[in-house]
A and B are shown apart, each in its own frame.
Chain A
Amino acid sequence: MAELQFREALRQAIDEEMARDENVFIMGEEVSEYNGAYKVTEGLLETYGFKRVIDTPIAELGFAGIGVGAAMNGLRPIIEFMTFNFAVLAADQIINHASKVKYMLGGQVSVPIVFRGPNASAGQLGATHSVAYESMYAHFPGIKVIHPSEPGDAKGLLKSAIRDNDTVLFMESEQMYGLKGEVNEDPEHLIPIGKAAVKREGSDVTLVTHGKIYHTVVKAAAELAKEGIEAEIVDLRTVKPLDMDTVIASVKKTHRCVVVDEAHPFAGTAAEVGYLLQRDAFDDLDAPVVRVTLPDVSAPFSKPLFDAWFPSVKDVVDGAKQVYYKS
């Protein structure tokens, strides 16, 4: 185990997989000579050369399409988007090609590709650079969506994503690249896609979350503990496939659930978790499932407005108290 930054954990995963399989290559804006906009790919050019660490023009649809074609022909591309906000331009390749080729060709051709990059808001970056896209992509069949919260999970899941034979979207956060955490350095240590992790055990309320806002939830759990409410934190890690078994097992213990989702509320991951909970754990619920999400409003730029917009520790604490019938 080593204490690594999130970006170092990602780099280690990419490096190990590129060393393991010569079909793996990485492509994106500034990934090569500039070492990556967020320095995830630092040093990879020296090791693997221009053929496997490829700078692209600012043309997301183009290089996403090149990646899909390469994957259909047997390579294993890792496509880095400087942010998933820019990947909207490549959505046709992701939604209509990467996710559907295998289906439409009756399984004859796979698209083993990883699209990765930062997702969701990262402070005052304005409305168009602050969107959480995981539930939008998870909506489509044929796409796996991973959104880890800690460096150790990021490495193990990115390795699984690169080895996966189908399309995987791997989401990060600008604000987590510097985050440090324990990382398993065994090149064969993989974390399976689609498995949530219980990151804190508690008996009173289940807090389901994923991605960067997990760290807000950790703080909220500490606040709740001061008031005698022991929260259990389920970090989904993978949004799709969604590991409801772990969520339901936790809710059957706590009988209460707050889903904390750094996305807009409508048809989001929190909505799906809430639906599945009422379907599969109805008799175990003592209170309606509560969501803590962004409001149905685009990101504001102004700092005070941003702070009001982004779910806070207090919002999570309030949500937990609501399902606990304690205010």
Chain B
Amino acid sequence: MAIKVEMPKLSDTMEEGVLAKWNIQEGDTVSAGDVIADVETDKATMEMEVFDSGTILKLLVDEGDTIPLGGLVAVIGEPGEDISGLVSGGASGESSSSEAATEPETADSASESFDPIFGGIGSGNTTDSSDSSDSTQTTSTTDGRVKASPLAKKVASEKGLDLQTLQGSGPNGRVVIADVEKALAGGAPSQAATSSAAPAAQAGTTSTPEPQTSASTQAPAPVSRPSSGSEKVKVSQMRKVIARRLSESKFTNPHFYVSVDVDMANVVAARGQLNQVSPVKISFNDIILKAAALSLKKHPWVNGSWNETEMTIHHDVHIAFAVAVDEGLLTPVITHTDQKSLMEISAESKELAGLAREKKLQPQQMEGSTFTISNLGMFGIDEFTAIINPPNAAILAVGGIRDEAVVKEGAIVPGKRMKLTLSSDHRIVDGAKAAEYLNELKHMLENPLAMML
């Protein structure tokens, strides 16, 4: 069997050698240890020995040729042996990897030019490859699970994209970020409508797209799985803010609730008289805002904020009131509510509510509240509890005014009653303080003239 003779490494730093002189000719017989050539290295001219015995079948390089380490220079074997398989492809140009010539290697720039640090380090194979070997595009849902990269999951969730509808291009059908981006760019028709990037803006200042609930906006796209009858609706920026702030409030603030039933007969009568003279129509809500504000001045803890290391008591009263809009709710603020007249409060609340519904509220019009009122009376609600609007210490939930038979001086007479429920943050407002505040407010509403004092 034929044996290759390759350029040996004759010094520690040798990368290539010049074949200075052949000591033998083709057809000569050699024994292991014979010096068959002189080789010039970077340091000296060295003797090149053979490690095998046999007949020199072929000399593959000429004197003066430069051969890289491991380059084929000669073939030893039995006379007449077929060596075409060994010498085809030429020897002198082959590098140390000539043994693997059947496996074409990608050109590696590192091995093309000598490098002072690494010399001619070629390509090995030590990359973790457990993941890449199989990139067949089996569907990612065959075992009932959607395989997706964490990033793809996160972005899909943020953009309201259903991963089930995507074909993963990664290993084992994994949905990767490129698939999500493609779908968001319109690659997946069923998702195109919800793909517009969510504008990063304050809640309420941006027109958020309509939830995809109306069937008329587009024909239902075929889905890849049997319909489960549910629908993904994109989370608007406003809903995100609501979700975050109210979860934070409800899960962090120790809420407790106190309620009173308020006799509204005097307010109903007073409002009738006021509206006969007022150029703007005064609503019950305006009166409650004013009364709540004046009561806060007398019970400052309820007008406070909790900040872990300290409590803030706000000397100004800025009341926010909840306004229902299509996608959620907004809480515009009437600043210095206690110092404003009913007419001013009425005008301002109408303007702010209008702006809220038109999505034109500016962020500063929703900032700086010290207390919040939520009124569901106009929706026919008798009473409810509200979640504190951080960083407030309390929120007042206002029910509707009910016509009710009440006992007055031993007789059953028609009465006007309204439930008020105060949610308080127990870290700053204790039960007694909440009760005192609510009784103050009740007293003021039952004696509306007190507001004029």
Q: Interface of A with B (CB < 8 Å)?
A: 123-124, 175-176, 178-179, 212, 215-216, 219, 222-223, 255, 265, 282-288, 290-295, 303-304, 307-315, 318-319, 322, 325, 327
Please give, as numbers and ranges, the residues of chain A lying within 8 Å of B131 by CB-CB distance: 287-288, 290, 322
Name the interface residues of B119-160: CB closer than 8 Å to any CB of A: 119-129, 131-132, 135, 149-154
- Residues of B participating in the A interface, judged by any CB pair closer than 8 Å: 9, 12, 69-70, 96-97, 99, 106, 108-110, 116-129, 131-132, 135, 149-154, 169-170, 176-178
When A and B form their complex, which 3 residue pairs have the shortest distance between CB atoms, in order from nearest? A314-B123, A307-B122, A312-B123
CA distance A255 to B177 in the complex (A): 9
A178–B119 alpha-carbon span in the complex (Å):
13
A124-B9 contact, Cβ under 8 Å, with A295-B126, A311-B126, A315-B125 = yes
A293–B124 alpha-carbon span in the complex (Å): 10
How close is B39's CB to chain A, nearest CB, in angstroms?
16
- Are B126 and A216 in touch, CB under 8 angstroms? no
Q: Could you tell me the distance in whole angstroms from the C-beta of A185 to the nearest C-beta in chain B? A: 23
Q: How far is the CB of B326 from chain A (nearest CB, A)?
A: 31
- What is the distance, in angstroms, from B114's C-beta to the closest C-beta of chain A? 13
A285 interface neighbour in B69, B118, B150, Cβ under 8 Å? B150
Complex interface: chain B residues within 8 A of A319 (CB): 127-128
Given contacts A223-B109, A292-B126, A311-B124, contact A287 B117 (CB under 8 A): no
- Whether A327 lies near B135 (C-beta < 8 A) is yes
Q: Tell me whether A307 and B126 are in contact (CB under 8 A).
A: no
The minimal Cβ–Cβ distance linking B385 to chain A, given in whole angstroms, is 35
Q: A176-B117, A315-B123 are in contact. List 16 more A-B contacts (CB 8 A).
A: A175-B117, A255-B151, A282-B150, A285-B151, A287-B170, A290-B127, A290-B128, A291-B127, A307-B96, A307-B123, A308-B122, A308-B124, A309-B126, A312-B108, A319-B127, A322-B129
CA distance in complex: A327, B155 (Å): 24
Residue of chain B at shortest CB distance from A226: B109
Residues of B within 8 A of A255 (CB): 151, 177
Report the Cα distance A318→B131, complex, angstroms. 12
Question: Are A312 and B124 within 8 A (Cβ)?
Answer: yes
Q: Are B152 and A304 in contact (CB under 8 A)?
A: no
Contact A313 B110 (CB under 8 A): yes
Whether B176 pairs with A313 at a CB distance below 8 angstroms is no
On chain B, the residues within 8 Å of A295 by CB distance are 126
Nearest-neighbor residue (CB-CB) of A175 within chain B: B117
Q: Are A215 and B117 in contact (CB under 8 A)?
A: yes
Q: List 27 A-B contacts (CB under 8 A).
A: A124-B12, A215-B117, A216-B118, A219-B109, A223-B109, A265-B128, A283-B150, A283-B154, A286-B152, A291-B127, A291-B128, A295-B126, A303-B69, A303-B96, A304-B122, A307-B96, A307-B97, A307-B121, A308-B124, A308-B125, A309-B124, A310-B121, A311-B124, A312-B108, A315-B126, A322-B131, A325-B169
- Known contacts A179-B117, A291-B128, A322-B129; is A286 also within 8 Å of B123 by CB? no
> Do A303 and B9 have beta carbons less than 8 Å apart?
yes
Shortest Cβ distance from B348 into chain A, in angstroms?
44
| B149 A286 Cβ-Cβ under 8 A | yes
CB pair B127 A322 closer than 8 Å: yes
Residues of chain A within 8 A (CB-CB) of B9 are: 124, 303
Q: How far is the CA of A287 from the CA of B153 in the complex (A)?
A: 12
Residue of B nearest to A252 (CB): B151
Across-interface contacts of B176 in A (CB, < 8 A): 286-287, 325
Task: Tell whether A215 pairs with B118 under 8 Å between CB atoms, given A292-B127, A303-B96, A315-B124.
Answer: yes
Taking the closest CB of chain B, its distance from the CB of A243, in whole angstroms, is 23
B147: shortest Cβ distance to chain A, in Å?
12
Residues of A within 8 A of B132 (CB): 322, 327
Taken together as a complex, chains A and B put the C-alpha atoms of A131 and B282 apart, in Å, by 86
CB-CB under 8 A from B119, the residues of chain A are 123
A293 contacts which chain B residues (CB < 8 A)?
A: 126
